Amino acid sequence: MKSYRKELWFNIPTRVELINITPQVNQCLRESGIKEGLVLVNAMHITASVFINDDESGLHHDYQVWLEKLAPHEPISQYRHNNTGEDNGDAHLKRQIMGREVVVAITEGRLDFGPWEQIFYGEFDGRRRKRILVKIIGE
Ligand code: ZN
């Protein structure tokens, strides 16, 4: 069995952003040389997500509005977590609902997606260097 590991780094200039990382994951898959197997993609930070959905700008707007209703950033005093001196209590909650990781099957050297599926990085506390892990196993 072959095994491949890579960290992808991001420094998002805004607090919240959703980014299609499918091209980077495809690049990892090419580098790995693996044709049949599984790829795991996970955020390595507890205020960011990796998830799969449609690359459609209206939907991404809807996610941001919905997440802000569920866990508004302001007032930051509403979160006990922020008593630690942080201001990212909302980002931890947003990360939880959008998920930590995805696993995608690799078939004949390709990501074996359903219709319209793409992989996204969800940043909820940006403006600093953060990373995701790509782990691929197979033959
Ligand atoms: Zn925190």
Q: Is residue 70 part of a domain?
A: no
Cα-to-centroid distance, 87 and ligand 1 (Å): 7
Domain-located, residue 71: no
Distance CA 25, CA 41 (A): 8
- 67-83: b (≥16 Cβ within 10 Å) or e: beeebebeeeeebeeee
Per-residue pLDDT of the chain (139 residues), as tens digits, is 999 999 999 999 999 999 999 999 999 999 999 999 999 999 999 999 999 999 999 999 999 999 999 999 999 999 999 999 999 999 999 999 999 999 999 999 999 999 999 999 999 999 999 999 999 999 9
Kindly state whether residue 38 falls inside one of the protein's structural domains.
yes
Does 128 reside within a domain? yes
Question: Could you list which residues have their CB under 5 Å from ion ligand 1?
Answer: 86, 88
Q: Is 20 helix (H, G, I), strand (E, B) or coil?
A: strand
Indicate the DSSP class of residue 36. Answer: S
User: What's CA 14's distance to the chain center, in Å?
Assistant: 15
Within-domain flag for 6: yes
Quote the ligand 1 centre to 136 CA distance (angstroms): 29
Does residue 34 sit within a domain? yes
Residue 53 CA, ligand 1 centroid: distance in Å = 26
The answer as to whether 107 is a domain residue is yes
Predicted TM-score (pTM) of the model is 0.96
Domain span including residue 14: 2-56+96-138
Within a domain: 68: no
CATH number at residue 104: 2.60.120.460
- Residue 73 φ/ψ, nearest 5 degrees: -65, -45
Cα 86 to ligand 1 centroid, rounded to whole Å: 6
136: part of which helix (H) or strand (E)? strand 129-138
Count up the domains in the chain and report the number.
Answer: 1
